[in-house]
Structure formats: structure tokens, C-alpha cells
Amino acid sequence: MIITVALNPALDQTVEVEHLAPADTNRVLDMRFDIGGKGINVARVLKTLGFEALATGFAAGARGRQIIEQLEDSGIGCDFIYVPGETRTNITILDRATHTHTQLALPGPEVGPEAGAQLRDRLRRRVREGGWLVLAGSIPPPGDPAIYTDLIRMADEHGTQTALDADGPIVKAVLDAGAHPTLLKINDHELARLTRQTIEDEDEALQAARLVREWGVPNVVVTLGSDGAIAVTADGDFIVRPPYVDVVSAVGAGDAFTGGLICGLMREHDWAYALALAAAAGSATCQTPGTVLCEGVDVIGLVAKAVVERIPMSAATR
């Protein structure tokens, strides 16, 4: 069983402009709303890849109910804790000329300790040995990373594997507290902040990932944008070259990568396959507009085009 946790889900508003001009009037060419948040997106990608996931977390107000309704309408099971306030709206501005995006991320509603305890109790009854608990995204105010720490320890007690996909300061707080997820998925910029190292190429990413493994995280996957990913795992180290696609929008590609990775590990228990599926899911999402995620048929068509190579333990990437 795979359970995704979205502590701070969002309703994502995407606006597209021809070329973003700061301090000027920008004409909107298109606009759309999608449900979002890392944990939500991972559950949706798992569903499109044919793997059932249970989406959990916090939901507030009318937007929270809208997110749950849309998830349930798409066949994704939900078990959210309702909290006071209103679920946040995030705004993404897509620049068509440069294929870049600017995100305005709101903090979300404040969540008290009672709601956190309620979520832990529900998840304690849900987790199973051999399953995955995916902890993805930001933490709502007051922003205490202890909730991720507690969930990782609770999952460990039940033999459940955990995946953590969050910003560097959250990851640092979790590791400093002595909690170690089964898998850390992180991008190169956040890894640089976490390790306080300069990461400008694949070799430096590999060395930083190996350092985090020395800190007690058995599997570390570092995404490098269009350059692919570096994976330091219990089954060896890998470099991943993603399939080439014409990029429309990279929004959500990292979440799709995480969903593909967990799906591959559950389905085949093989890191090379899981990394290829992850790269294909990320690339397929890059072909879609705005915050639209990948389609399963597109992912399957790209898997064979992803290149996954094993790296000798004593070697650099080239």
C-alpha cells in the first residue's frame, strides 16, 4: 500500500504570458486551476500509472473539499483531516517565450498540534509492513518539521518504508532529530543548502548524495533538472539521463518523478527500472501545459528512452 501525505495542499492557479515583464502590465494568454501540492500530485501520478494510493493530510474550507472531491472523482481514496481556515491558492506564472515559470506560494492555514496528533493516529492504523509512506511538500504554519520526524519514526515501527521530498531546511531538521527516511528525493539546489557544499556538476552532486547516505539515509535521489538525476542507493549508485522532449512546462515534473520512482519500486523492486520510470514520468509531465501532470500512455512510451547507468562506488560520474 502507498500512502501519500499532503500537509499543505493547494489549489494551483496557472496563468500564461508571452514574456513575463517585471514592473509592467502582463497580458494573460491562458489561465487554469488544478488541485495541487506535492503529496496530491504524487497520488495522481501513481493513479495514472495504474497504482492505487491513499491520499491523506490536512484540508481546510471550500478549497479543501474541492480537492478531496476531485481526487475521489478520479478514483483516488482519501482520508484527510479537516482543519479550520481555508486551503491555500498557489499562483504559477508561465513564460511561453523562455519556458520558465515563477511561483507565488502562500503559507496555508495554521494547523494546531491536535490536528497533527489526529493525523498520526489515523496513519498509525493505515500503514502496513512493506508499504510506502510518502511525505511530500511544505508544512503549514507554524511549520514544525517534527510532524515529519514523528511520521517517519511511526512508519519505522510498523516496517513501512518512507520517502521524503521536501525543502532543505525541513530535511535538515528531520535528520538532525535522528529520523532517517528510507528514501530522500531532493533537487541539486536543496542538496547544496542541506550539505553546505557547492554543486555545479554531476560529480559534486554524487559526492554530496554520498555524504547524506553517510548521515544515515540509505537511498538518496538527486534531480538535476533537464540533466537527469543521480541516485545513491542500497543497490548501488546510478546516473539517469531522461528522455528528450519538447518542454512546454516543467511545473510538476519533480512530483511526477517521485510518483514514478515509488511506483517502480513497488512494482519491480528494482532501482534501475524505477529510475527509468521516474525519468519518463518527469519528461512526460514536461510535455503538458501549466500544472497538468503526465498521462500513463506517454510515460510508458518514454521509459525505453531513459538511460540508467550504474556508477562504480569508487568512481565519479565521468
Delimit the domains of the chain by residue range: 2-19+30-311
Confidence of residue 313 (pLDDT cuts 50, 70, 90): confident
φ and ψ of 97, to 5 deg: -70, -40
Residue 44 has pLDDT above 80, yes or no: yes
Across the chain, mean pLDDT equals 94
Residue 13, C-alpha cell as written in the block: 492557479
Q: How many residues does the chain have?
A: 318
C-alpha cell at 312: 562504480
Whether the per-residue pLDDT at 318 is higher than 70: the answer is: no
Given a cut of 70, is residue 239 above it in pLDDT? yes
Q: Which residues are catalytic?
A: 255
Average pLDDT of the residues in 76-90: 96
What confidence tier does 249 reach under pLDDT thresholds 50, 70, 90? confident
Residue 78: other Cβ atoms inside 10 A: 17
Does residue 250 have a pLDDT over 90?
A: no
For residue 236, give the 3-state DSSP assignment: strand
Quote the DSSP letter at residue 139: -
CATH number at 2-19+30-311 = 3.40.1190.20
Nearest Cα to 264, choosing from 241, 239, 281, 284?
A: 281
Structure confidence at residue 190 (pLDDT) = 95
Contact predicate 91/36, CB 8 Å: no
- Going by pLDDT thresholds of 50, 70 and 90, the confidence category of residue 316 is low
The pTM of this model reads 0.92
Percent of the chain with pLDDT over 70: 98
Is the per-residue pLDDT at 175 higher than 90?
yes
Which region among 135-139, 240-244, 291-295 has the lowest average model confidence (pLDDT)? 291-295
**Percentages helix, strand, coil for the chain, rounded to the nearest 5?**
40, 25, 35
- Do residues 7 and 140 make contact, with C-beta atoms less than 8 angstroms apart? yes
pLDDT for 108-151, tens place per residue? 999 999 999 999 999 999 999 999 999 999 999 999 999 999 99
More confident residue, 316 or 240: 240
- Has residue 228 got a pLDDT over 90? yes
